[in-house]
Amino acid sequence: MKAKMFTMLLALSMGSVASFAQKGVEDGSRFGHGEDSIRCLQNISIYTEYVKTANFKDAYTPWKAVFTEAPIAQVGTYTNGAKILRALIAQATDGAQQKVYLDELMSVHDQRIKYLDQLNKLVRAKSSKGSVLGMKAHDFIIFSGNKVDVNKAYDMVKEALEMEKENADYFLLQDMMDISARKLKSDPNHKEQFIQDYLTTAGYADLAFKAATKERDKKLLKTAKDNVDAYFINSGTATCENLQNIYGPKVAQNKTNLEYLKQVISIMQLLKCTNEEAYFEASEAAHAIEPTAATACGCGYMYYKKGDIEKSVSYFDQAIELEQDPIEKANECYNAAVVLMSKKQYSRAKQYANKAISFNNENGKAYILIAQMYAASPTWSEESALNKCTYFAVIDKLQRAKSVDPSVEEEANKLIRTYSGYCPKDEDLFFLGLKKGDTVNIGGWIGETTKIR
């Protein structure tokens, strides 16, 4: 088929204009005209065969002629050209020659972008400017090695990612954090932007993974997301002290800048730095402009830290009302329960813990919290043996916690071992006419029925 097409194109080129020669780069045609078109088609045929056999050295010269003389001949000029030059860079032992090849590789990507609209008309699978620029940045980073111009690479990757967003190739996501981390090492002022780069890149990686349908793509994107996280964690920037130092002075300057405040809140929640003053200030300022569940939570934490329990709970109430996600609603109920428990307001705290369970019946933490409150307030009867029966109810909650939430199993088992030692002995219950298997109603604010075991 290829030979037949070549013959047809050759015949057309040698028709009535056999004496006229002009390159494609000169007249805007795919292959040029006359003798130039013949030479172009011959070079395509020659270098393509060499590429098939991985003979990149001999493929270079005929490919270069096509690249120079007929820039819109075919998309393969660029995909094969990149393949040839990558191989030649890897094979070259002379640094100067490697630099020559790398410069040519960069020009391959640049020229492809220049003629992208014409080239896309030749194929079904279109390429975007961002994807080509991303590949250029990737090649630049890989083949520059330790001598890479970090600022130049960073600008390229950032521009490409801004174009592609969640459609970015998996390697571009990794490159963004790699090169941003390198920039951070040489420029301490890059800290805030590095954090923003992480949030942006991780967000795109999550969206890309959720949208992926092919198993191979899912695996690549999962690895990319793991690497993005690793670059961030290993940077040493992901500490609450660093975030406070970065955002503390700037929150005060941006108290009316809602987008900036939201960004600070999101970052500090993500990194579990919700005890820092910057988080509190950003939350309160943002809440005053546009109340959300996140800003209400921030205010709730702030007033808890300040010791104003009622105001803290009132903000968590707002968060529960504003939140749409039932899992998050459950978390906010749990937070309110913790606040109230800290002041020994057990009855109210239990209400919020049960509310958390109503939103998420797999919330093991809420069951554990109830168990700990029962254990902290076991005195409801004048009979000490009956008071000890409270620990059966404690164990009931702990058993329930680990049955619905495997993530808390270790903690629940540890507490079960501890509280089992407080349960009444058989002889303690004998004089009350109670034995194993009997039920006991735990009174007071607890209000539970449990079995003696």
Q: Cα(261)–Cα(283) distance, rounded to whole angstroms?
A: 7
Residue type, 361: N
Q: Which residues contact 342 (CB under 8 A, 6 or more apart)?
A: 304, 309
Q: What is the DSSP string of 162-227?
A: HHHGGGS-HHHHHHHHHHHHHHHHH-GGGHHHHHHHHHHHHHHHHHHHHH--SHHHHHHHHHHHHH
H or E element that contains 306: helix 293-306
450: helix, strand or coil: strand
Nearest alpha-carbon partner for 263 in 279, 239, 275, 274: 279
Question: CA angle, 351 as apex, 345 and 354 as ends, to 5°?
Answer: 135
Q: Which residues contact 355 (CB under 8 A, 6 or more apart)?
A: 320, 333
**Phi, psi (deg, nearest 5) at residue 423:** -70, 150
Nearest alpha-carbon partner for 110 in 142, 156, 70: 156
Q: What pLDDT shows up at residue 58?
A: 97
Q: What pLDDT shows up at residue 20?
A: 58
R_g of the chain computed on alpha carbons:
34
Q: What pLDDT shows up at residue 390?
A: 96
Q: Cα(338)–Cα(99) distance, rounded to whole angstroms?
A: 62
Q: Judge contact between 399 and 412, C-beta under 8 A.
A: yes
Q: Which residues contact 273 (CB under 8 A, 6 or more apart)?
A: 240, 243, 244, 267, 279
Q: What pLDDT shows up at residue 242?
A: 86
Q: Cα(261)–Cα(96) distance, rounded to whole angstroms?
A: 49
Q: Cα(37)–Cα(65) distance, rounded to whole angstroms?
A: 11
Q: Judge contact between 228 and 201, C-beta under 8 A.
A: yes
449 DSSP β-pair partners = 441
Nearest alpha-carbon partner for 317 in 331, 298, 339, 332: 332
Q: Cα(222)–Cα(213) distance, rounded to whole angstroms?
A: 13
Per-residue pLDDT of the chain (453 residues; tens, 9 = 90+): 444 444 444 444 444 344 456 787 888 899 988 888 999 999 999 999 999 999 999 999 999 999 999 999 999 999 999 999 999 999 999 999 999 999 999 999 999 999 999 999 999 999 999 999 999 999 999 999 888 999 999 999 999 999 999 999 999 999 999 999 999 998 989 998 998 899 899 989 999 999 999 999 999 999 999 999 899 888 888 789 988 988 998 898 999 999 889 889 888 887 888 889 999 999 999 999 999 998 999 899 889 988 999 999 999 999 999 999 999 999 999 999 999 999 999 999 999 999 999 999 999 999 999 999 999 999 999 999 999 999 999 999 999 999 999 999 999 999 999 999 999 988 888 888 899 999 999 999 999 999 998
Model pLDDT for residues 235-261, shown as the tens digit of each residue = 888 789 988 988 998 898 999 999 889
DSSP 22: B
Burial class from Cβ neighbours inside 10 Å (0-12, 13-18, 19+) for residue 453 reads exposed
Model pLDDT for residues 60-97, shown as the tens digit of each residue = 999 999 999 999 999 999 999 999 999 999 999 999 99
CA 35 to chain centre: 54
Q: Cα(379)–Cα(394) distance, rounded to whole angstroms?
A: 13
User: Beta strand 439-442 with 448-451: parallel, antiparallel or unpaired?
Assistant: antiparallel
Nearest alpha-carbon partner for 132 in 204, 182, 75: 75
Handedness of CA 9, 11, 16, 17 (dihedral sign): positive
The CA–CA distances, whole Å, from 126 to 169, 170, 242 equal: 14, 18, 44
Q: Judge contact between 369 and 334, C-beta under 8 A.
A: yes
Q: What pLDDT shows up at residue 365?
A: 97
CA 114 to chain centre: 32
- Whole-model pTM: value is 0.64
